[in-house]
Structure 1
Amino acid sequence: MRTLLWRAALAGALVCGIGLLPWLSRTDPALTVLKARAQDRDPDPAVLTAIRDQLGLDDGPLTLLGRWLGGLARGDAGRSWISGAEAGPAVLQALGASLLLMAVALVVAGCTAAAVCARTLHRGGRVRPGGTGSAMLAALPEFLTASVLATVVGVQLGWLPALGWYGPRHTVLPALALGLPAGAVLGRLLDDQLPGAFTEPWARAAAARGLPRARIARQAVRRCLPGLLPNTALFVVGMTGGAVAVEQIFDIPGLGRTTLQAALAQDLPVLQAGTLALVLLAALAAGAARLAVRLLTGPALRDGALPAWHRPAPAARRTTPLLLGSALLAVLGAGLPRDPLALDTTARLQPLSLTHPFGTDALGRDMLARVAHGALDTLLLALAISAGTLLAGLLLGLLPRLSGPLVDTVNAVPPVLAALLVTAVAGGGPATPALAVAAVAWAPLAAHTSALLRQERAALHLTATRALGAGRRYLLRHELLPAVVPSVTRHALLRLPGTALALASLGFLGLGAQPPSPEWGHLLAENQPYAERAPWAVLAPAAVLAVLGALAVTSAGAVRRPVRRTAEAPVRAVEAATR
């Protein structure tokens, strides 16, 4: 009951914050509505007064919020301030489109994750963690993947529709753009746990009895799923409300795009209804994930069948991260001495050459210089955000009753909407994207921490150690944290490119850095219209992002828990109890 009340209070606070958005932004809602209805019309005081009277803006935000909540109890979500249409049916129609796109994207993500883990499953976990290809796939920006698919597959080859939303064929390209990066991340998380599952006693006993390898592999996947399902639920909501850029490119009337347009136009009823739909979807996805985790781990929690130790996967090759890191440093070393703002209109959209190794953009600026200087803005900021969110995720993950509902509520807020809320409260500026991304990026790490702790607490050696007199502080310091921190740290490193992508996405949508900044998202946004004529202008920053993703994943292989014998845990507990 306390959890339900805490969840309801968080959802109510979020909806109330959305309701106060026009007043928090310190702008005149009537003026914003007038510009959204008719951009060419002058803001005549009489017209603005008529809009305020029509919408009841003079009554204040609390009165408007009370009216909206009262109507919601009767099934009335209000009417759009822009079109006058009912907000409820419009939001439900957008939600239906997003759910269909999400379902197809989940199929793509599942197939991609299976492909990433296929080698590990086939060889019974006896492989070195690679992940270079999957890391590059996970680091590709969704909006860039969508642009390339729409241009090449949709326009040039004509295989599938590139625009619109008129049937199942229109879901393929946007589902690929959403599902491929998500599947690569989920596949890497699963592939990180599989080698440890194959070395557990039950797997070795099954292999000794001659059970088929495929059956053991299925059980290994089942063994690792409880720690992965909470993050899968987060991807479900992210694919529904966070697919704003993909919906913009493919002209899909989805919930993310509808919510963004309502936020920009300050169409309060539609924005509140869309946010409430995202909150309810997040709660349903989290509830389904918890039910699935309980079904998967229930027998283990009853009979103590979970293993006593998670053994790490074999050490990763050190040459790959060294090569990738050297390539990234070479780009920075060659580009930083160059001027990223120097214009040369006679060298517009020049291809790769010795003078311009990455070519030039539409204004004749050197792309190598802009990519290298953009790394200082994007990469260092992404590193700082990742470190902060890792600490926050670990601390909040240790308190699942507090963080569980908070994770579900925060995950319902797309980074774009979070950026708008941060802009409204703190004002615009270069710190706005960082605050918006940091406000939501800790949620997957906290969910992962809670899931791993739930698994570790069911282990036999933990029960034995507790029975021998070890206290909670000892168990947390010497058993739980050493088992959880390395996996969550690898997860944070795996999400480092995603953090950079989130910053880039806000820049792509015009909510981040502004011209002439060389920030990577802005680079991709300003050069995306020239992708067909001058692909190097888009591929250069995308390639550096891909190298960053591969470097993060291959470097994560070095973050491993040291192997220790299971019998050491009770021995240490006895020593601690006798001190």
Structure 2
Amino acid sequence: MSSGTAAGRSRSRSRWRAGLGRLAAGTALLTAVALLPWLSGNDPALTVLRARSADQDPSPEQLASVREQLGLDEGPFTHLVHWLGGLPQGDAGTSWVSGEAVLPQVTSAFAVSVTLMLGALVVTVAVAALVSARTLYLGSRRRLHRATGAVGVAVLAALPKFLLASLLATVCGVWLGWFPSSGWEGPASMVLPALALGVPSGAMIGGLLDQSLPAAFNEPWARTWYAYGFAPHHVARHALRRTMAGVLPQLLPTVVALVGGAVAVEKIFNIPGLGRLALDAAIAQDLPTLQTATLALILLGTVAGLLIQVLRRALLGPALRDGALPALHAPAAFRGRSTRWAAVACALALLTLVTAGLLRDPLHVDTAARLVPPSAAHPLGTDALGRDLLARLGHGALRTIGVAVAVTAVCTLTGLLLGMAPQVGAGLTEVMSTMPAVLAGLLTTAVTGPSASGAALAVCLVGWTPYAAQAAALLEQERASGHMLASLSFGAGPGHLLRHHLLPAVLPPVLRNALLRLPTTVLVLASLGFLGLGEQPPTAEWGRLLSENQPYAELAPWTVLCPAGALVLLSVLALSGTDAAAVRSRASVPVRMSRRSRRRGVQGHARPAGSYK
């Protein structure tokens, strides 16, 4: 009874810490948003007046009138207190630009975005199921000897969402007329944007699930069930439940990204969603609208995080609560020869592309050769200004990959540290995952100005959340495992547990996730550059090439297919690197642990057969 009471008190304290963390993080985020007009260095009255009337040269009297009308001289904190005070009465203020009530606008945009999110979530789950179906089938029948579909996963995950949206709108909307290509008029309007958002996200989630399933089928409980003659579908169902523990936390940033981060897709399909409303309000410095939209995103992320936690514990059942669920350790035998050949081919292709491009001038403009298709003189064609695409791809490779790798490394390290310190990161991950990278870019640009470093800082502010969520979930599993409890009973110290239990269980999956998300980081940096918040022209950068040439996708498809193909090559190479890292990191752990365990008289990695039920 006393142990149960102590466990209940511990869970209660954890909930209180998480609640306080959410409150503190949400307050800090809303305060940062409230400071945006004053941080930007521009006159808020001038920005609002230009958003109202597009007047480029207002008189001082007009500016003074707007400043007095909005009460800008009172400062940001007075505005924040007034806005918060009106929320309990259902008053979110009045738009500085349109003069209309803010709450109906945000409510309408929120309803549109949630509807679109649910449709995209259905597509995400369907694609993830298709990606992992073959591994699930072969594993349940003891026929899984190599990786399945790794290259296809990398290709789908590397698809730029705004490029896929343009392609779907052009082909399925304009040419074939199957679905509306613009507007929000009914269920049919949701199909194409849901596909554009859900297919890459589903490939990402499915890839993580596909990488975890082989380890589940290789565990002692699964081998015992095979020996006892359990039906394959029974083993497959429990293996799926087993792997969902580490994958479910990745749904939180995915769900929020389908709402707040879908700005480009909403613009292409002319959808009046919450992400687009927040972006327009931030650009116009319409503070009441921006604050209310940000609060809606925070509430959405908090509710989604709580629902995912409940679903995760319901799927795991007593295994997690009773401390019988160990962390998954990927076996070293699931790296197929096709994946190695794909990695070699992608590496050679990228090396050839970069080498050939570096020999050309990326800034040379030939107005007589605008949008020229691939030829002997221009192997990848030219862009709208007549610049050689091969040269721009080659010169942009180091900058693109270097910045993306640096940002991914910072985000991964930050996520690991916060994920392994739940007392510090409790609630913070859920709140920060609600912040779109575009909004973070606006906040950082207000301080640093539009630059590549400012865009990188913006992505670092929000890009660590998937890794923190995954690390926290894996850490919870490992701490509840029987072999770690055995080590504790034999007097293992924190350093030993960290080196031989926690890091081997957490680090490889998080690194695989980071490499799988590397092309996504490139695309997020590209979207910030497209909005004028990141890399500035005429810099040759892969993401910016996609953004610059996206309007010419129908007229000159090679202008977007070439940089998109380079991203696909990078994604396949990164995913192949995850397999190699998993093989090297996991192959030596059981041997090293077994030797140390024999010296201590403990079977370090043995689990009771059939312990997961």
Q: Normalising to structure 2: TM-score of the pair?
A: 0.91
Secondary structure at 1:228's aligned position in 2? helix
Identity score, percent: 55
Aligned equivalents of 1:354, 1:96: Cα separation in 2 = 52
Shift of 1:41: 5.8
The corresponding residue for 2:29 is 14
The corresponding residue for 2:378 is 356
CA shift digits 1:319-369 (9 cap, x unpaired) = 221111111111101111100110111111111112111111111110111
The corresponding residue for 2:535 is 513
Deviates most, 255-264 or 288-297: 288-297
The corresponding residue for 1:389 is 411
Shift of 1:185: 0.5
Secondary structure at 2:98's aligned position in 1? coil
Residues 90, 309 of structure 1: alpha-carbon distance in 2 compared, 3 angstrom cutoff: closer
Shift of 1:226: 1.1
Q: Conserved in 2, the CA contact under 8 Å of 1:456 and 1:480? A: yes
Aligned equivalents of 1:152, 1:118: Cα separation in 2 = 29
Secondary structure at 2:335's aligned position in 1? coil
RMSD over equivalenced CA pairs, Å: 1.8
Any stretches of 5+ residues in structure 2 without a counterpart?
A: 1-15, 604-613
CA shift digits 1:409-458 (9 cap, x unpaired) = 21111000000000112222221111111111111111111111111112
Q: Conserved in 2, the CA contact under 8 Å of 1:196 and 1:311? A: yes
> 2:306 matched to 1:267?
no
Shift of 1:119: 1.3
Q: Conserved in 1, the CA contact under 8 Å of 2:451 and 2:536? A: no
Q: Which residue of 513, 516, 530 corresponds with 1:491? A: 513
Q: Which residue of 441, 453, 477 corresponds with 1:455? A: 477
Aligned equivalents of 2:327, 2:299: Cα separation in 1 = 38
CA shift digits 1:246-301 (9 cap, x unpaired) = 00111000000000000000000000000001111111111111112222334013
Q: Conserved in 1, the CA contact under 8 Å of 2:212 and 2:328? A: no
Shift of 1:570: 4.0
Aligned equivalents of 2:441, 2:121: Cα separation in 1 = 26
1:146-545 superposed matches below 5 A: 146-307=165-326, 310-312=329-331, 314-317=334-337, 318-545=340-567
The corresponding residue for 1:27 is 42
Q: Which residue of 598, 603, 606 corresponds with 1:571? A: 598
Deviates most, 203-212 or 349-358: 203-212
Secondary structure at 1:161's aligned position in 2? coil
Shift of 1:510: 2.8
Shift of 1:316: 3.9
Aligned equivalents of 2:488, 2:596: Cα separation in 1 = 10
Secondary structure at 2:590's aligned position in 1? coil
Shift of 1:311: 3.9
Residues 60, 293 of structure 1: alpha-carbon distance in 2 compared, 3 angstrom cutoff: same
Shift of 1:304: 4.0
Q: Conserved in 2, the CA contact under 8 Å of 1:120 and 1:127? A: no
Shift of 1:389: 1.6
Given residue 86 of structure 1, which amino acid in structure 2 is its aligned partner? A
Matched residues, number? 577
Aligned equivalents of 1:373, 1:224: Cα separation in 2 = 41
Aligned equivalents of 1:432, 1:419: Cα separation in 2 = 7
> 2:114 matched to 1:87?
no
Given residue 237 of structure 1, which amino acid in structure 2 is its aligned partner? V
Shift of 1:206: 2.0
Q: Which residue of 125, 130, 134 corresponds with 2:153? A: 134
CA shift digits 1:18-55 (9 cap, x unpaired) = 11110011111110011000113631111111111111
Residues 191, 27 of structure 1: alpha-carbon distance in 2 compared, 3 angstrom cutoff: same
Aligned equivalents of 1:63, 1:212: Cα separation in 2 = 65
1:39-50 superposed matches below 5 A: 39-40=54-55, 42-50=57-65
Aligned equivalents of 1:534, 1:127: Cα separation in 2 = 43
Aligned equivalents of 1:259, 1:422: Cα separation in 2 = 16
Aligned equivalents of 1:367, 1:104: Cα separation in 2 = 36
Given residue 557 of structure 2, which amino acid in structure 1 is its aligned partner? P
Q: Conserved in 1, the CA contact under 8 Å of 2:218 and 2:331? A: no
The corresponding residue for 1:111 is 126
Deviates most, 426-435 or 356-365: 426-435
Q: Which residue of 163, 166, 187 corresponds with 1:144? A: 163
Deviates most, 469-478 or 561-570: 561-570
Aligned equivalents of 1:154, 1:111: Cα separation in 2 = 22
Aligned equivalents of 2:327, 2:596: Cα separation in 1 = 10
Given residue 389 of structure 2, which amino acid in structure 1 is its aligned partner? M
CA shift digits 1:77-117 (9 cap, x unpaired) = 10100111111111111111111111011111111111111
Aligned equivalents of 2:235, 2:21: Cα separation in 1 = 41
Deviates most, 57-66 or 339-348: 57-66
Deviates most, 414-423 or 476-485: 476-485
Aligned equivalents of 1:355, 1:292: Cα separation in 2 = 57
Residues 308, 93 of structure 1: alpha-carbon distance in 2 compared, 3 angstrom cutoff: closer
Q: Normalising to structure 1: TM-score of the pair?
A: 0.96
The corresponding residue for 1:77 is 92
Residues 18, 228 of structure 1: alpha-carbon distance in 2 compared, 3 angstrom cutoff: same
CA shift digits 1:185-224 (9 cap, x unpaired) = 1011001110010011221222223222122111111111
Deviates most, 339-348 or 206-215: 206-215
Aligned equivalents of 2:517, 2:454: Cα separation in 1 = 20
CA shift digits 1:171-194 (9 cap, x unpaired) = 111111100000001011001110
Aligned equivalents of 2:41, 2:385: Cα separation in 1 = 36
